[in-house]
Amino acid sequence: MKTIRTIATTAALAALGLAFAQSAAAQSSGTLTSTLNVTGTLAPAACDVTFVGGDTIDFGNIASTSLSANTFRKIGQSQDKTLQVVCGANTNAFVSVQDNRAASAIQDPTIRVALGSTVGLNNLFGLGSVDGPSGPVNIGSYTIKMSPASVVTTYGGTSVQQPAVLSSADKSAWAASAAPVLMIGNGGEYYTAGSLGASPTPVAARTFNFPLTIDAALNNTTVLPLGDEVKLNGSATFTVAYQ
């Protein structure tokens, strides 16, 4: 009997040990999860904007005798400047311009006789003002024309001339022109390079070279105080949106 009890007790302990083992095994075989999040933002390639050869247009010394006593007169030769946009990868580049001297732009329709009949009043940029006998006198106005750009689409590649200047108020519906386009200086019009045709399309490129032509006309010598030097003081900010 004693032996039997011992065996029975041993069996009970073994059964109890088995129960604990099964319980531990049940706990150790549970399933645990943890989530790995992989995030990031794909951003457009960054671009740099510069004016080739510097950011100043200088008409030099202007003889007062070259001006008119009663009307506006265009001065000197047209000045050329290239706006260059260089990006890290092919992207669209949309140029706008804001006249920082807009308050001094001479908004007289007759100034278009000097600067060209196609010039609109919203194409006139200001050249600053000077103190006159009866108060500030606006010095004159200038225009900026953009011609079709040349672009580079591959690293180290050759430049390809584009057929048109594209312009748009919303960067969606584009008008195309093979001829130079007079820019609007209120910051609300966008310009780029691209195709002609019924549905003009902006070109994506690594490098854009936008040719700009600047023409200026000055007020008449009757109102300009010519006893001292009169310095032209035009300023315009070019902004490039890229995507």
Tell whether 95 is covered by a domain.
yes
For residue range 130-182, what is the model confidence (pLDDT) as tens digits?
A: 998 889 999 999 999 999 999 999 988 999 999 999 999 999 999 999 999 99
Q: Residue 177: what residue type?
A: S
Does the pLDDT value for residue 9 go beyond 80?
no
Write down the number of H helices and E strands in the chain.
2, 16
Tokens of 171: 């960067």
What pLDDT sits at residue 83? 98
Q: Write the CATH number for 111.
A: 2.60.40.1090
| DSSP assignment of 21-33 | HHHHHHHHT----
Residue 48, phi then psi, degrees to nearest 5: -115, 145
Tell whether 25 is covered by a domain.
no
With cut-offs at 50, 70 and 90, classify the pLDDT of residue 30.
confident
Distance CA 212, CA 52 (A): 11
Tell whether 36 is covered by a domain.
no
Residue whose token pair is 């209120």 = 186
For residue range 97-141, what is the model confidence (pLDDT) as tens digits?
A: 999 999 999 988 889 889 998 999 999 999 999 998 889 999 999
Tell whether 109 is covered by a domain.
yes
Tell whether 19 is covered by a domain.
no
pTM: 0.82
Tell whether 165 is covered by a domain.
yes
Domain that holds residue 98: 47-242
Per the structure, how many domains does the chain have?
1
State the DSSP code for 65: G
Tell whether 189 is covered by a domain.
yes
CA dihedral 107, 236, 200, 82 (to 10 degrees): 120
Contact status, residue 57 vs residue 75, Cβ threshold 8 Å? no
Residues 6+ apart with CB under 8 A from 46: 87, 88
Tell whether 16 is covered by a domain.
no
Question: Range with the lowest mean pLDDT among 40-49, 50-59, 74-83, 88-97?
Answer: 40-49
